[in-house]
């Protein structure tokens, strides 16, 4: 994660995951609001069932690649340990980043095993395991061995706020498994999670995007953005706050537009028609099967109506 690619690749993964969850959450709700139930992951329904576990396998592949990159591909000696098998200071961050990826790997592996083996998983168990992964990410970014101060530290602080929202929404799905709003917030927070990761990759690693008055400092342990003066530091932090609000507004508006568009496409529509007054035996219910749908009687608010599902 301590590179431009290390921010953009996982950020893209989080962003796509959020879009995938948002699409499935809204379509499931539009098709059947009364039967809506949150899910920790969503199967891919096209491809004849061969791609059913694509989401989980993508998380496993991405997490595994991240661990390999941090511990074996990235280090100059292609292994993270010193000659005496201790962890050198410059590789502490690699172990921290790989720990974050390992928890996402555990979550996806458990979910995949449960799906393939038809194992009965207690309701909310996968959300709890996913919350452990987010908690680990929050803890390690908060107590990072790399001293994130100044502008870089502020960007990481804002990232932690996003993780807190993501974590809270994930945990709320356990007691509120039928809450559409909680599921939407969780999906949108994954999108925000990824978008902010990508933004950090550009702002903290591409010289053209580094705030004015700040520059990249190359050290043995890591590269960092340092600002020349306190005024430049405050300017960079203010820019980060503005960017955060812009991204939040974009995510919010995009979610609303996505909801309106998706519901218009996938919503199941019901036509209501008044019943003709016919002499019937008291208590009888009439159900008529038609060529264009199923017509039945429903009684609510003290009146009888006919519902035609089209």
The residue count of the chain comes to 310
pLDDT at 148: 63
Q: What is the pLDDT of residue 301?
A: 38
Q: What is the pLDDT of residue 94?
A: 85
Enter the pTM of the model: 0.82
- pLDDT beneath 50: ranges in the chain: 283-310
What CA–CA distances, in Å, run from 224 to 3, 134, 233? 10, 25, 13
What does the alpha-carbon distance between residue 297 and residue 290 come to, in Å, rounded to a whole number? 14
State the distance between the two ends of the chain, measured CA to CA, in whole angstroms: 51
> CA nearest 1: which of 135, 130, 99?
99
> Whole-angstrom Cα distance, residue 303 to residue 310?
22
Q: What is the pLDDT of residue 86?
A: 83
Q: Average per-residue pLDDT in the chain?
A: 85
pLDDT in tens, 7-33: 999 999 999 999 999 999 999 999 999
By the 8 A CB rule, do 146 and 221 touch? yes
Q: Are 26 and 257 in contact (CB under 8 A)?
A: no
Instruction: Please calculate the CA angle 179-31-24 and round it to the nearest 5 degrees.
Output: 65
Q: What pLDDT is attached to residue 220? A: 62
Nearest to 40 by CA among 62, 60, 58, 55: 55
> What three-state secondary structure class fits 242?
helix
What is the per-residue pLDDT for 274?
A: 67
Q: Where are the beta strands (DSSP E) in the chain?
A: 214-218, 223-227, 270-273, 288-290, 293-300, 303-309
CA angle 57, 198, 241 (to 5 degrees): 135
């Amino acid at each position: 994660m301590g590179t431009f690619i290390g921010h953009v690749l996982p950020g893209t993964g989080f962003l796509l995951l959020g879009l995938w969850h948002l699409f499935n959450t809204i379509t499931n709700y539009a098709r059947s609001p009364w039967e809506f139930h949150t899910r920790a992951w969503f199967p891919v329904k096209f491809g004849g069932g061969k791609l059913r576990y694509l989401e989980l396998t993508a998380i496993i592949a991405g997490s595994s690649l991240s661990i390999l990159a941090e511990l074996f591909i990235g280090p100059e000696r292609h292994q993270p340990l010193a000659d005496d098998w201790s962890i050198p200071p410059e590789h502490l961050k690699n172990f921290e980043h790989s720990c974050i990826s390992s928890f996402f790997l555990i979550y996806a592996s458990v979910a995949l095993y449960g799906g393939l083996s038809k194992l009965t998983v207690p309701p909310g168990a996968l959300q709890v395991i996913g919350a452990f992964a987010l908690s680990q990410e929050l803890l390690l970014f908060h107590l990072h061995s790399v001293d994130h101060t100044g502008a870089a530290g502020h960007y990481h602080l804002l990232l932690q706020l996003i993780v807190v929202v993501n974590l809270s929404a994930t945990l709320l799905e356990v007691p509120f498994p039928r809450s559409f709003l909680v599921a939407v917030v969780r999906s949108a927070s994954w999108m925000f999670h990824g978008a902010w990761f990508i933004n950090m990759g550009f702002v903290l690693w591409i010289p053209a995007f580094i705030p004015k008055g700040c520059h990249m400092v190359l050290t043995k342990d890591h590269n960092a953005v340092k600002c020349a003066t306190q005024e430049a530091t405050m300017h960079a932090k203010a820019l980060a706050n503005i960017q955060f609000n812009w991204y939040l507004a974009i995510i919010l508006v995009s979610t609303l537009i996505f909801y309106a568009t998706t519901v218009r496409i996938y919503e199941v529509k019901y036509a209501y028609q008044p019943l003709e007054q016919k002499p019937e035996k008291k208590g009888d219910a009439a159900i008529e099967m038609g060529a264009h749908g199923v017509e039945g009687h429903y009684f609510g608010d003290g009146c009888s109506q006919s519902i035609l599902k089209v």
